A and B are shown apart, each in its own frame.
Chain A
Amino acid sequence: MAGKLKIRVDQDKCQGHARCKSLAPELFELDEFGNAHETGDGSVPAGLEDKAWLAQSNCPEIAIEVTEE
Chain B
Amino acid sequence: MSDSASIMPEHPPVTDWINDFDHTDPVWTDDPFPIWEKLRAASPVVHTERFLGCYMPTTYKAVKEIAYDTEHFSSRRVIVRDVRPDITARAPPITSDPPEHKPAKQILLPPFTPDAMKKLEPRVRAICNELIDEFIADGKCDAAARYTKHVPVRAIAHMLGIPEKDGDLFIKWIHGILELGIKDDNALMEAVKEMTGYFAGHLEQRKKNPTDDLISTLMKAKDKDGNPLADEHVLGSLRLLLIAGIDTTWSAIGSSLWHLARTPADRERLVKEPELMPLAVEELLRAYSPVTMAREVMKETTVSGCPVKPGNMVLLSFPAANRDPAMFPDADKVVIDRKENRHAAFGLGIHRCVGSNLARMEMTVAIEEWLKRIPDFRLDPAGKVTWSEGTVRGPRQLPLLFGKAN
Contact = CB atoms under 8 A, between A and B. Distances in A.
A59 interface: yes
Contacts of A32: 109-110, 113
A34 B111 CA distance: 10
Contact of B114 (A21, A23, A59): A21
B225 interface: no
Contact of A23 (B278, B357, B360): B278
A16 B106 CA distance: 11
A33 B114 contact: no
A45 interface: no
Interface string A6-35: 000000000111110111000000101110
Nearest to A31: B113
Contacts of B112: 34
A58 interface: yes
B339 interface: yes
A60 B114 contact: no
B347 to A, nearest CB: 8
B252 to A, nearest CB: 15
Interface size class of B (residues with CB under 8 A): 20 to 34
A54 interface: yes
Contacts of B214: none
Interface in A20-63: 21-23, 30, 32-34, 54, 57-62
Given A34-B109, A60-B348, A18 B114 contact: yes
Contact of B342 (A33, A34, A58): A58
Contacts of A23: 278
Which residue, A30, A34, A62, has most C-beta atoms of chain B within 10 A? Answer: A34
A57 to B, nearest CB: 4
Given A17-B356, A23-B278, A34-B114, A61 B348 contact: yes
A22 B360 CA distance: 11
A33 B115 CA distance: 11
Contacts of A33: 106, 109-110, 113
Contacts of B339: 54, 57
Contacts of A17: 346, 352, 356
Contacts of B115: 30
Given A16-B109, A17-B352, A61-B348, A30 B114 contact: yes
B349 interface: yes
Given A30-B114, A34-B109, A60-B342, A16 B278 contact: no
A67 to B, nearest CB: 19
Given A22-B114, A23-B278, A33-B106, A16 B352 contact: yes
A32 B115 CA distance: 10
B357 A15 contact: no
Given A34-B109, A34-B113, A34-B114, A15 B349 contact: yes
Contacts of A22: 114, 278, 360
28 contacts: A15-B348, A16-B109, A17-B356, A18-B113, A18-B356, A18-B357, A22-B114, A22-B278, A22-B360, A30-B113, A30-B115, A32-B109, A33-B106, A34-B109, A34-B110, A34-B112, A34-B357, A54-B339, A57-B339, A57-B340, A57-B342, A58-B282, A58-B340, A59-B342, A60-B342, A60-B344, A60-B346, A61-B348
Given A32-B110, A32-B113, 9 more contacts: A15-B348, A16-B109, A22-B360, A32-B109, A33-B106, A33-B110, A33-B113, A58-B282, A60-B344
